[in-house]
Structure 1
Amino acid sequence: MHFLQIPGPTNVPHRVLQAMARPTIDHRGPEFAELTLDLLPRLAAVVQTGGDVVVYPSSGTGAWEAALVNTLSPGDRVLAFETGHFAMLWCRMAAKLGLEVDLVPGDWRHGVDPGLVAEHLTDETAAVMVVHNETSTGVRSRVPEIRAALDRAGHPALLLVDTISSLGSLDYRHDEWGVDVTVGCSQKGLMLPPGLAFNAVGPKALDHQGRLPRAYWDWRPIIEANHSGYFPYTPPTNLLYGLAEALTMLEEEGLAQVFARHDRHAEATRRAVRGWGLEVLCADEREHSSALTAVMVPNGFDADEVRRIVLERFDMSLGTGLGKLAGRVFRIGHLGHFTDLMLVGTLGGVEMGLRAAGVPIKDGGVQRALAYLEGGA
């Protein structure tokens, strides 16, 4: 059995795979309409919104673009924050689409500083772009505090939030937190293969029609067709079968319990890392991700060599360091369909891999995780 412990795509449960193996049906027929009308409100419940959720056959990158082109116009200014590799990719996309990006530099060890939001807003700022859970760093930004900073400033900018590696894994509340557009995808906390992307759309964003060119990504034809249970394009029927089953699994466990499980596994992982005498990349205790942990290797060692050894000897995949973190960190994914036993096996493989790579570590890292999982110190 291969251990897929990258922070996405994640392990796809057997129940979801079985659901996806059902025969494809007519996407213009009544059975498909019933599927859509049942599925969309359940997906909205995971995003915690009473509004529309638009589903695309695409990667999360498509949902990034949809969030921008539906709300903004050429030359609009957007405020963004350098919190990691994916935040920077979203910035580059915005620039390519003809937007002016005001980028606040960062060290990739912290999330968005809510105190800096108002400081960098201008009268021309049309939107603020935030990555809730930066997959490249294991750092979570404090979205409610960012919303509060915008409100205190009385600024009308839209709040666009990427939840690609947090949706279905970390507590996230689109409506309560005043988010205007939420970006999500299928292959992480929702336990599906890649191929589905989402925009949760608040009323302010829906009313704010930008002039950037759009066709495939246009929300309005999709929302209109969804009202009767259909899509204006050929939908990925079998992925939607899988999504329905994944939502059933989340409902059976309960969202609060899902979030608590992720918090618990993340804390156990951090205890193991510190037990080895290594450092977690995230530098602020308030901002630890519960979906993944990025682990720094000591100077003079190559994190990718650790990953290579772990893969070759123990058949386990760990996440690579991305961008300027290449070779400096490896990432342990602990999100989606994941249990205590899977975590203990993962941490055991990491500990053996570190030793095999010659990285100097202390004894007892896995034991610290075990003690925490068993309810001890």
Structure 2
Amino acid sequence: MKLVILSSANSIHTIQWAKYLANSGIDVHVVSQHSASQDFPQQITIHTLPFKGFMGYFFNVFALKKLLKEIKPDILNVHYASGYGATARLANFHPYVLSVWGSDVFEFPYRSFFHKKLLQQNLNSADVIASTSLSMAKQTQQFVDGHKKIEITPFGVNLEKFNPICFDKNANVKTICIGTIKTLKHVYGIDILLNALSIVYKDIKIEFPQIANQLNFRIVGGGTDMDELKKLAVELGIDHLTHFTGSVSHEEVPAELNRLDIYVALSRQESFGVAVVEAQAMGVPVIVSNVGGLPEVVQNGKTGFIVDSENPQQAANAIKNLILNTELRQAMSVEAKQFAHSNFSWQSCANKMLDVYRNTLKNFKVR
């Protein structure tokens, strides 16, 4: 099978899909108007479209048509319904699978009537739509004609890379590290996390002062809200415990997760939750908000806890439970790793996508 992926070549998710599909024996070509990142696999052919920016999604139509004639793929997989989805629709190549990502269906259609109409046209032009979570599929469905099925194709995790066996964890270090790895933007609820950690610290300092001295909070990631969040940590009185690392590469993420005893994701919106799956693969218990795809990637009470959105007190209670109950934390660590291995290996997720490709081709030929 020859496949063209139309997507941003500087996205780690594009790189992961391309790499694992290529490893499955697919002849993969990536077409992108975004420049390839340094992590882009050398063995995969990349074609760069000439125009950039929002209007590039329209101006690149003829360049894409030309490339598709030259490559002659069996199928096209388009990632991101708003931008590249428009390019694919106007290029009119079939069959193609359109993979929605998150903001393209949660934010883009609400900007104006024009944005909503554009998204509807792009979605309904695709032969098949794919979503990484049931939650995002439900959100997408309202913009799609009723007859079009949405396939669930979750992101996978490299279980060789996200493996605690590959890292040393110094058992002699008497600290309990709670943190997250996210872009520092309002949507990801880092402010909610800081408020929850403030409650945790104040409560434990009164009830268990010896444990309070062991607490360590770690916020991994860069973003526009960095200065504001640092200021909030000062206001909450936890700045002396809280370390903001700034941006890290995806290669550094497993080592960062290995530092954590508890991973917390209190996002206000989340299409899937790949970082939460990666944390569990590393044997880290997780606490997540009950939004988007996050509840789908956590077994509540077994691999972590699901708490209400915008509720720092409830998140703090869950964090304290894991801090004070070492046996529970250890049991959840074992369950979390097993859950990730059983459900989110890249091999199994790539196979699900391959099945979508094969079924799309089969149904297209029957028409």
By the TM > 0.5 criterion, same fold?
A: no
TM-score by length of 1: 0.31
Structure with max Cα Rg: 2
Which structure carries more relative contact order (alpha carbon 8 Å, separation 6+)? 1
